[in-house]
Chains A and B, each alone.
Chain A
Amino acid sequence: MGSNLVVTEKDSQYTELTRFRQTAYGIIHTKLPAVKPLNLLLVYRARMKLRLPFEAWMWIAALLGLAILGPWLDGRASFCIPSVLGSALGFDFCWGCGLGRSITKAFHGDLLGSWNDHPLGMFAILTLLVRIITLIHQSLKDPS
């Protein structure tokens, strides 16, 4: 009788431990509930496998870099290749200059300043976002 009781106690402890382990495993490895947007995002991520084309990575890096590093970069670095080349070669005109600052200001909510730096800053953000989404769509349709 006694030995039986001990065994069952140990047994119950064991099962509790395994149950705990199973639930922990379950919490970690269970499929997420069918929340539509979240599921969509996970499916996107799983099927994408970070195999976006080079161009998409460049635009994403450009927009993120300008949004995050933009205030720090202002006045320290110029990405305008025509004007850098131009100052070396002796001419100085580029109708794209100010676009980086404009995009940074637009990301930080200063729409008027963005417009004053370059009228196309907000248009550039929109166009690049559309392009990024198009590229993601294409790479989802036929991953190559």
Chain B
Amino acid sequence: MNSLFTYLPDLEGEELMYINTIISDMSESQIQQFAMMYRSRRKEPQMILLLTLVGALGIAGINRFILGQIGMGILYLLTWGLCGIGIIIDLVNYKKLTTSYNQRQAFEVANMMRMMGA
């Protein structure tokens, strides 16, 4: 728990909970490695919010591209975020979008480490 805060100090809420469950059976060095790999893949919710606001100016959908949703990104880009509706949804929902993306990345990193270790 303490070591987690030294490596990933900016976690909070739901993210902190699932990271805790993932690293619960890891050793200290494994936690360090996990934290490094997770940090490089993690996306900041604030960045997604800013990109959504950029979308309100006309270039919508960058946030969806960055979160790996190519189809939604193309749709947003070519329709100005579904005529503004999608942008509002993303403004409300940016935290959940980022958290679910980060969660998937965390599980992927943990799986990768398990495969490399075995």
Which secondary structure dominates chain B's binding surface?
helix
Chain B interface category by residue count: 20 to 34
A95 and B80 contact, Cβ closer than 8 Å, known pairs A81-B85, A131-B72: yes
B58-81 near A? 1/0 per residue, CB < 8 Å: 000000000001011011001111
Chain A interface category by residue count: 20 to 34
Q: Are A97 and B83 in contact (CB under 8 A)?
A: yes
B31-73 near A? 1/0 per residue, CB < 8 Å: 0000000000000000000000000000000000000010110
Nearest CB of chain A from residue B88's CB, rounded to whole Å: 7
Nearest CB of chain A from residue B96's CB, rounded to whole Å: 6
Q: Are A81 and B84 in contact (CB under 8 A)?
A: yes
Which secondary structure dominates chain A's binding surface?
helix
B7-22 near A? 1/0 per residue, CB < 8 Å: 0000000100000000
The 10 A-B pairs with the shortest beta carbon distances in the complex, nearest first, are A81-B84, A96-B79, A96-B83, A80-B83, A96-B80, A127-B71, A127-B75, A55-B93, A58-B89, A99-B79
A→B interface (CB under 8 Å): 53-55, 58, 62, 79-83, 94-97, 99-100, 118, 120, 123-124, 126-128, 130-131, 138, 142, 144
